[in-house]
Amino acid sequence: MKIAVFAGDGIGPEVTQEAVRVLKALGLPGLELVEGDVGGAAWRKHGHPLPEATLEIARAADAILFGAVGDFECDGLERHLRPEQAILGLRKELGLFANLRPARVFAGLESHSALRPEVAGAIDLLIVRELNGDVYFGEKGIDDLPGGGRRGWDMMSYTDAEVRRIAHVGFKAAQGRNGKLCSVDKANVLETSQVWRDTVIEVAAEYPDVELSHMYVDNAAMQLVKNPGAFDVIVTGNLFGDILSDQASMCVGSIGLLASASMAVGTKGLYEPIHGSAPDIAGKGLANPMATILSAAMLLRHSFGLEAEAARIEAAVAKALADGIFGGDLGGSYGTAAIGDAVLERL
Ligand code: ATP
Ligand code: MG
């Protein structure tokens, strides 16, 4: 099993190092870790945020563990040289079309949520967001109007093939969890959503063991705050997923604990914490590595089918949290290495 490790910028290298320690501690047979440069770190060394050598490592790997990219000193550079291009380029190059974001409140952390503790405590959901289509990638433009003024426009579109592909990811994820899939759209107003809904219903025939429901996005936003415990897996388009996944993260309330996966066709995937490079705390050993450690657990589950090992890591993190091992993001005083140690001890 070949895993590319792209630590990147800011707190990226610190948090990634702890996740690598955890992966190594599992004693997985045939584990091979290959490091590569991305982001501002790569630009400094090679003059490009996503050098060809890094792309080659990514192509040859089964999965990628990604830290974070972001570098103030690159602010003035042309767009294609900015650190963020590393993640956008990898998405494109590897065909990563599905973004998976679990949101869960660990026992004892209910009070960190913006929601009432009893509501927050029930959150254990997964958002599956389509990444390659929708209004972000449609035709777009800004027209000058004949009578003065301007009109901006962005074309929203989904083909049934694009919907089918992401629907399968949603149904399979639901099979691996509690068997409930909620498809979120705006089918009362949008033709895109009509194709979305029809296609999801068609795909559902292949998953008789999954209970499918449909929800309009406005209602979904409301239910995520009102009764988030009712959701298991949510599958939705790029725009709605972008908004709902950030909303769900904040319902959980701890940026240092949230992992994510971006999947291609097959099992290749890129795994990263949802937080960024956090320049304000970089290099100080203060960052909470749990989000990256949990990303490594997702990597084992989704790219290698190692459910038991993934669950072992998640249980170790949950145990550390239950024992009060809190990083600065949770108002605690544990640093990066101490949290890594605590998770390893409980593994
Ligand atoms: P970027 O531009 O790379 O996204 P950012 O400035 O938006 O960077 P984020 O990484 O998104 O920063 O973090 C937002 C805030 O949360 C920062 O103040 C940061 O210190 C804090 N934070 C982020 N990740 C962690 C972490 N793993 N542990 C502790 N605090 C964190
Ligand atoms: Mg950010």
- 258-288 per-position pLDDT tens digit: 999 999 998 999 999 999 999 999 999 999 9
Please tell me the distance from the alpha carbon of residue 290 to that of residue 97, in angstroms, as a whole number: 25
Mutate to test the pocket of ligand 1, among 71, 74, 246, 255 (most ligand atoms within 8 A of CB): 255
242 is an annotated ligand-binding site residue: yes
Average pLDDT, whole number, for the chain? Answer: 96
147 domain-assigned? no
Quote the pLDDT of residue 120: 94
Percent pLDDT > 90 in the chain is 94
Whether residues 240 and 122 fall in one domain: yes
Quote the pLDDT of residue 257: 95
Which of 205, 228, 253 lies at the terminal end of a domain, its last residue?
Answer: 253
Give the pairing type, strands 32-35 and 2-8: parallel
150 domain-assigned? no
Whether residues 75 and 95 fall in one domain: yes
Whether residues 4 and 92 fall in one domain: yes
Does the annotation count 186 as an active-site position? yes
Quote the pLDDT of residue 131: 95
Whether residues 122 and 174 fall in one domain: yes
Q: Which ligand neighbours the alpha carbon of 295 most closely?
A: 1
Whether residues 290 and 306 fall in one domain: yes
Express each pLDDT in 213-256 by its tens digit: 999 999 999 999 999 999 999 999 999 999 999 899 889 988 89
180 domain-assigned? yes
Averaged pLDDT for residues 70-74: 93
Whether residues 117 and 228 fall in one domain: yes
Please tell me the distance from the alpha carbon of residue 28 to that of residue 42, in angstroms, as a whole number: 29
174 domain-assigned? yes
Whether residues 241 and 119 fall in one domain: yes
Averaged pLDDT for residues 77-92: 93
139 domain-assigned? no
Which long-range contacts does 334-341 make (Cβ < 8 Å, 24+ apart)?
Answer: 334/288, 335/285, 335/286, 336/11, 336/14, 336/15, 336/18, 336/285, 336/286, 336/287, 336/288, 336/289, 337/18, 337/285, 339/18, 339/288, 339/289, 339/290, 340/17, 340/18, 340/21, 340/22, 340/289, 340/293
Quote the pLDDT of residue 253: 83
136 domain-assigned? no
Averaged pLDDT for residues 312-327: 96
Which residues are found with C-beta within 5 Å of the ion, ligand 2? 276
Express each pLDDT in 166-211 by its tens digit: 999 999 999 999 999 999 999 999 999 999 999 999 999 999 999 9
State the catalytic residue, choosing from 186, 207, 232, 334: 186
Whether residues 244 and 124 fall in one domain: yes
Does the annotation count 75 as an active-site position? no
Whether residues 67 and 119 fall in one domain: no
Quote the pLDDT of residue 254: 86
Q: Which atom of ligand 1 is nearest to the CA of 68?
A: 3
Does the annotation count 198 as an active-site position? no
Q: What is the CATH number of the domain that holds 28?
A: 3.40.718.10
Q: List the domain range (segments joined by +) for residue 276.
A: 1-99+258-347
Closest residue CA from atom 14 of ligand 1:
278
340 domain-assigned? yes
Which of 232, 253, 274 lies at the terminal end of a domain, its last residue?
Answer: 253
Quote the pLDDT of residue 225: 95
Whether residues 177 and 232 fall in one domain: yes
Q: What is the CATH number of the domain that holds 121?
A: 3.40.50.2300
123 domain-assigned? yes
Whether residues 237 and 273 fall in one domain: no
Closest residue CA from atom 10 of ligand 1:
276
208 is an annotated ligand-binding site residue: no
The tally of domains found in the chain comes to 2
Does the annotation count 216 as an active-site position? no
Which of 202, 236, 253 lies at the terminal end of a domain, its last residue?
Answer: 253
Predicted TM-score of the model (pTM): 0.93
57 is an annotated ligand-binding site residue: no
Quote the pLDDT of residue 343: 98
Does the annotation count 218 as an active-site position? yes
89 is an annotated ligand-binding site residue: no
Whether residues 169 and 286 fall in one domain: no
Quote the pLDDT of residue 278: 96
Residues in contact with 65: Cβ distance below 8 Å, sequence separation at least 6, in sequence order: 3, 4, 5, 6, 16, 19, 20, 23, 271, 272, 292, 295, 296, 299
Q: Ligand 1 pocket: which residues have CB below 6 Å?
A: 11, 15, 68, 70, 255-256, 275-281, 287-288, 291, 327-329
